Structure 1
Amino acid sequence: MFSKSCEYGIRAVIFIAQKSLNEERTSLKAITQEIDSPVAFTAKILQQLAKAKIITSIKGPNGGFEIAKEDIDSIKLSEIVNALDGDNIYKGCGLGLKVCSSKEPCPVHDKFTTIRSELRKMLETTSLFELATSLETGLTYLRR
């Protein structure tokens, strides 16, 4: 459903938010170890997220990645997805056809329209705070 870069990006941002809630910055190395992702690929993803102002990158010996504590609750999952994948997740055909519309539907068009609508609602209402705190309490995991 999401691109690989978006999957890694969501996991990275949740981890950074968890650390930021504890007033800690985290390094690229710690992020890649925690979310089990390739270093160079993750660095590019984090660069995109910093450019989109979802995370902050601090250079230097005490640097790392962080999110302002007061922003964590206002950042929605949809912002991360939009920064990395754009809005294609809401538009594309469920079967990957180039042409799929209500006039020329694929076999799953109507069912997929409902799923996309529910997905949009979930992404737009799920806050980073909610995800980071469930990770902090051990209710969820970033890798297995």
Structure 2
Amino acid sequence: MLSNSSKYAIKGVLYLALNSDENHKIMVRDMHGIVNVPESYLAKLLQELSRHDIISSARGPKGGFYLSDNDRKRTLMDVVKVIDGEKRVTSCVLGLRNCDVDNPCVLHKLVGSNKTNFINVLERTTVQDLIDGKREIEEFFPL
């Protein structure tokens, strides 16, 4: 349901949430190896998120990417929408154009409620919510 690009972007945002603020900005070259995303690809993703005001950035010798307090209030869906567009998450699992509640495909009934729950989680979960559960993040995503 999520593209690798969205997964990489979320990993980058989580790293920034744990390690940056207005006074401590992080360069892509210093984080790409830790989040295990190619440097140029991560740079592209973070630049796109910055252009859409999902994360913050500053140019110059003390520049880099960071998360402000407002950025931490962004939801995971905000990140996904910028990277993949909302249709990627909400579209038919099989990619059929005419699949919906009134005209479900063969997988719609099997995954429909789970997919709805997943979308709700993306829409309700903020970056800060994940950081508040830092211990769980570190188990699966050592920073």
CA contact (8 A) 2:55 2:71 kept: no
Q: CA deviation at 1:125?
A: 1.5
Q: How many residues align?
A: 143
What are the equivalent positions in structure 2 for 1:1-144 lying under 5 Å apart? 1-20=1-20, 23-68=23-68, 70-135=69-134, 139-142=138-141
Contact 1:9 1:45 in 2 (8 A): yes
After superposition, the C-alpha distances for 1:63-86 in whole angstroms (9 at most, x for unaligned) are 111111x22442111111111111
Q: Per the alignment, in what secondary structure is the counterpart of residue 65 of structure 2?
A: strand
The answer (yes or no) to whether the contact 1:18–1:136 under 8 Å persists in 2 is no
Structural RMSD (CA): 2.4
**Unmatched tracts of structure 1, length 5 or more:** none
Structure 2 length as normaliser, TM-score?
Answer: 0.85
Task: Give the partner amino acid of 2:66.
Answer: E
Unaligned ranges ≥5, structure 2: none
Task: Name the TM-score, length of structure 1 as normaliser.
Answer: 0.84
| Gap change, CA 1:60 and 1:26, over 3 Å in 2 | same
Contact 2:48/2:82 (8 A) holds in 1: yes
Q: Percent identity?
A: 27
* Residues 8-17 or 110-119, more deviating: 110-119
Please report how far the alpha carbon of residue 47 of structure 1 lies from its aligned counterpart in structure 2 after TM superposition.
1.1
- Per the alignment, in what secondary structure is the counterpart of residue 20 of structure 2? helix
Cα distance in 1, alignment partners of residues 138 and 38 from structure 2: 25
Check the 8 A contact 1:15/1:132 in 2, yes or no: no
Output the CA distance in 1 between the equivalents of 2:25 and 2:140: 19
When residues 24 and 137 of structure 1 are mapped into structure 2, their CA distance, relative to the original with a 3 A threshold, is farther
